[in-house]
Amino acid sequence: MKISVVIPVYNEIATIAEIIRRVKAVHLDKEIIVVDDCSTDGTREELERIAAEDPSVLLILQDRNAGKGAALRAGFKRASGEILIVQDADLEYYPEEYPRLIDPILRGRADVVYGSRFLGTHRVFMFSHYLGNKIVNLFTNILYNCIFTDMETCYKAFRREVLDGMRLRSNSFGFEAEFTANVMKRGYKVYEVPISYDGRSYTEGKKITWRDGFVALWWLLRCRFEPLDIGRETLVRMEKVRRYNDWLYGRVGPFVGRRVLEVGAGIGNITSKLLNRDLVIATDVSERHLQTLRTRFIAGDRLRIEEFDLDRCDPARYAGERLDSILCMNVIEHIKDDERTLRCFRDMLSPGGRLVLLAPACPILYSRIDAGLEHYRRYSREGMLRRLEAAGFRVEHAEYLNLLGAVGWFVNGRLLRRRMLPKNQLRFFDLLVPLLRIERRVRIPFGLSLLTVGRRE
């Protein structure tokens, strides 16, 4: 994979030429992006000389001193590599350790890798900085339920897809905390590896101070209680309602056969329950979701992870897979031409194969939550049956599910006009899941979801 090394620089005349030389000496397919944050000590002139002599160094000149975070954002925009690495412009870190840093990503184990100064060989440096790091790490681990040893490290390597949809705003050293908070909230797979560290003193040019520790704490707290993009945040929240996911799979699982195409797998909340099948093809249109699936599961003969866009559905794509089931849960409502998609599903199935379809039910429940999730519609039972029959399916099963959820959706979306279900309500609802078992004995007149099963004749 191609590597993009992004180096933010401010007043590093003593070290900038040497750090670029060391980065260039690393034997990897890479590009070097240097962002000068309006240096005043001659660094800018030195960088202009280096860039003029060496076209492999891409130089970005900021028109004002905005801070490390702003410089990194400028560098990220110009990066073209599949993996990005942040490199400080001093000599505290060792670029020759890049292979160790990116190894978990290349092996498919991680989306993001932190180089921990406290796990590797390091200079015995200032206790005040060590204590400050421990305090910030403690807050990070408490707020995001993780076990970082060195959240504030400069060395962060990550797939470029990690930045997709990530709104970074900190202009200062708060970047480290803001980036970490976004990574953890999005559920990316994070590893730490030991690195060497030669810490500088203030007389040697160190710039970070005790004030930056409070900035980091501010960003950790701010991001903890801010929502992500609604779609990703909803998937992450739904991953945590495990009782509900188990109950939901218990309702759809009996209809799913041995050779399954899962459409809209998301981050794998249901995929994990299908792994005992003969073949599972987990698909999604989002590259971010696909990357999450690739790091969460090991693909092989029985599990494939593929991009699949329903708006460009080609029935011939899976003609030779002998699919006996298509599982489509909470996806069809995102498709404008849902009738065409249903016909495509019919043509992909083997004769006698089943479409197991879960969709939002009851048009009266349509609210700001649906709009935020980009739902075109919610379905009535009669409307869904009509669509399935028109597409060539014989409907074998149709029922509403989750009466309790429908009440909560109506209150939050229609009465309180919220755009997302609160976390605490979801946790409480997960405790009430045993009550949903009553629905196996009593047919409910409406619900949050509509489960239908259609068989291809």
Q: Is the pLDDT of residue 448 over 90?
A: yes
pLDDT at 102: 96
Query: What are 352-365's pLDDT values in tens digits?
Result: 999 999 999 999 99
Going 71 to 77 to 79 to 82, the CA torsion angle's sign is positive
Q: At what angle do helices 230-239 and 242-252 cross, to 10 degrees?
A: 90
Does residue 69 contact residue 41 with C-beta atoms inside 8 Å?
Answer: no
Q: At what angle do helices 381-390 and 338-348 cross, to 10 degrees?
A: 50
CA gap 408, 168 in Å, rounded: 33
pTM for this structure? 0.70
CA gap 370, 376 in Å, rounded: 8
Q: How confident is the model at residue 201 (pLDDT cuts 50, 70, 90)?
A: low
Q: Reduced to 3 states, what is the DSSP secondary structure of residue 77? A: helix
Q: How confident is the model at residue 254 (pLDDT cuts 50, 70, 90)?
A: very high
Q: At what angle do helices 423-431 and 230-239 cross, to 10 degrees?
A: 30
Exposed, middle or buried: residue 224 (CB in 10 Å: 0-12, 13-18, 19+)?
Answer: middle
pLDDT at 195: 95
pLDDT at 360: 96
Find the mean pLDDT for residues 214-233: 82
Q: Is the pLDDT of residue 207 over 70?
A: no
Q: Is the pLDDT of residue 131 over 90?
A: no
Q: How confident is the model at residue 422 (pLDDT cuts 50, 70, 90)?
A: confident
Q: Reduced to 3 states, what is the DSSP secondary structure of residue 361? A: strand
CA gap 93, 16 in Å, rounded: 13
